Structure 1
Amino acid sequence: MALSQGARPLRVYKETTQLLRLGILTKEPPWYQVVASVPPSTVLIRTTPVEFDTPPQGDVKAVSRKVKKSKKFFRPRYIQYPEDDLRKTFFADHPWELARPRILVEDSGNDGLNYDWSRLQQPGKALDGESVIQRQMWLMENEKLSKSAAYDVARKEFYRLRMRSDIERRIAAEEARSVGAFFGKSHLQVGLELEEKALLAWKVKAQEAVARRQQRIEAMANPGSIDTDVGDEDATTDTPGLTGAPETPTSPTEPSNAQGT
């Protein structure tokens, strides 16, 4: 039964009793007698712990002193594992390892204990930073190496295996291309093309901004040139005598040359 906001747990028992009395419910629920003997609490928040260190009765100051509640009462306890410091050191030196895709699904949360960390590379597990950390822990516990010495050994093995995998990947790609495979553009080529497009768009906007700025500078340097030019253009268009040669008026009584001939 879903409780509405503000409903009390004891109200469920009362409503069930009323339904049984009216005959709507013919059988008691399995929890009915239990709730009747042990009624639920109406306060649903966590109570403060009991103070065991009670002050003596004769100490008036201690009795009148108010007990302050701890601010960290509802804060979970901080848990520190030995691998946390090793992870912090490794990923601080190799930040790009965090960009590699990883499988976060685990069966029990302790899948690292099912591998033999006497060697770094494990069957069925991708080589990543966690492999280096577990290998370093194994060297510290079994080989009795220091933290820095075990880190150097595990790190060198990690570099060697990574270089080997990169060489194998390049060889496989060259063999595939030799038989006609086509892989398309690489991530670097796609990134360079996008960068060039962004630079060209920025160049066009910069040229437009420079042109507008130059126009403003010229307008501020010669504020009357624009008005003068506009006034001259209006005068030439409105006055017919200024557009070309002066026109000679013809008298209505004098016939033109075309009519005389």
Structure 2
Amino acid sequence: MNTIKRLRPIRVHLTASRRLETGRLREEPAWYRIVGSIPPTTSLVRPLPVQQKDHKPWTKRHKPRGMFMPQKIEYPEDKLRAQFFKDHPWELARPRILVENDGNDHKHYDWSKIEQQSKQLDGESVVQRQMWLMENKGLGETDAYDHARREFYELRMKQDIERRVAAEEALAVGAQFGKSYLEIGIEMEQKALEMWKEVATADIIKRRGRSTFTVSDFEEEPEAPVSEAEEQPVAAA
């Protein structure tokens, strides 16, 4: 029964021919003559690899691997991306815009220059600029990488200066900014330290069995004041 089910797709042309003869099909399907001239193969299973001459038993080590796995697709840009993000790992932490307008945004970019009007400056800009230099200017991979990276650094510094100037101008006219990410991180770290201090204090109190033990016990005791008599030097005998 299973064999009949597997062979049903191969018998499509024969089934259509019988239905045409009996009148159940009034017209020939569009594929009828093509399938009749080029019939499908009857072998649905790939042949096993040829065994070794010594006819050793089939072991797990000799089993074929990846017979039905798709081939790995590699692009020239993959190697360039790996090199750039290896040298600039913090670029991966920058937010990126992945939404495309019409699905063909890459056709609207002119990589004869690294700066694009409708695309933010990121690592992909360096990779595409490097590819353009290699294909159109005949530069080697290293020279094109250095050239694109130099342009990337100059534009990134220019953007940082513009951002700082804009912030200073806004502060000059009365703008107020919230806390920076660094300040927020320091506050969160300080809260975690305070919580840890309370937990550690409670644990020490529980171990020593002292209910009067407080956080002040951790602090250094102030030095006792020195009296005037102690400050005066002792006269020699």
Category of TM-score, reference length = shorter chain: 0.5 to 0.7
Counterpart residue number, 1:148: 142
Once residues 159 and 47 of structure 1 are traced to their aligned partners in structure 2, the CA distance between those partners, rounded to angstroms, is 57
Q: From the superposition, tell whether residues 69 and 202 of structure 1 become closer, same or farther in structure 2 (CA, over 3 Å).
A: closer
Once residues 99 and 213 of structure 1 are traced to their aligned partners in structure 2, the CA distance between those partners, rounded to angstroms, is 44
Once residues 106 and 126 of structure 2 are traced to their aligned partners in structure 1, the CA distance between those partners, rounded to angstroms, is 11
Counterpart residue number, 1:181: 175
Question: What letter corresponds to residue 202 of structure 2 in structure 1?
Answer: E
Once residues 83 and 176 of structure 2 are traced to their aligned partners in structure 1, the CA distance between those partners, rounded to angstroms, is 40
| SS across alignment from 1:141 | helix
Counterpart residue number, 1:254: none
Once residues 77 and 172 of structure 1 are traced to their aligned partners in structure 2, the CA distance between those partners, rounded to angstroms, is 51
Counterpart residue number, 2:95: 101
Report deviation, 1:93: 1.3
Specify which structure has the bigger relative contact order, considering alpha-carbon pairs within 8 angstroms and separated by 6 or more residues: 2
Counterpart residue number, 1:166: 160
Query: What is the TM-score of this pair, normalised by structure 2?
Result: 0.61
Once residues 44 and 83 of structure 2 are traced to their aligned partners in structure 1, the CA distance between those partners, rounded to angstroms, is 41
State the identity %.
56
Question: What letter corresponds to residue 131 of structure 1 in structure 2?
Answer: S
Once residues 149 and 70 of structure 1 are traced to their aligned partners in structure 2, the CA distance between those partners, rounded to angstroms, is 43
Counterpart check, 1:76 vs 2:73: no
Report deviation, 1:157: 1.0
| Corresponding residue pairs, total | 172
Counterpart residue number, 1:258: none
Once residues 159 and 209 of structure 1 are traced to their aligned partners in structure 2, the CA distance between those partners, rounded to angstroms, is 52
Question: What letter corresponds to residue 81 of structure 2 in structure 1?
Answer: R
Report deviation, 1:150: 1.2
Larger-Rg structure: 1
Once residues 214 and 71 of structure 1 are traced to their aligned partners in structure 2, the CA distance between those partners, rounded to angstroms, is 63
Report deviation, 1:87: 0.5
Counterpart check, 1:121 vs 2:118: no
Query: What is the TM-score of this pair, normalised by structure 1?
Result: 0.56
Once residues 207 and 161 of structure 2 are traced to their aligned partners in structure 1, the CA distance between those partners, rounded to angstroms, is 54
Query: Where in structure 2 are the equivalents of 1:16-55 lying within 5 Å?
Result: 47-49=44-46
Question: What letter corresponds to residue 95 of structure 1 in structure 2?
Answer: P
Specify every segment of 5 or more residues in structure 2 that has no aligned partner in the other structure, as ranges. Answer: 9-24, 36-42, 211-237
Q: From the superposition, tell whether residues 213 and 110 of structure 1 become closer, same or farther in structure 2 (CA, over 3 Å).
A: same
Question: What letter corresponds to residue 86 of structure 2 in structure 1?
Answer: A
Tell me how large the CA RMSD over aligned residues is. 3.7
Counterpart residue number, 1:195: 189
Counterpart check, 1:132 vs 2:126: yes
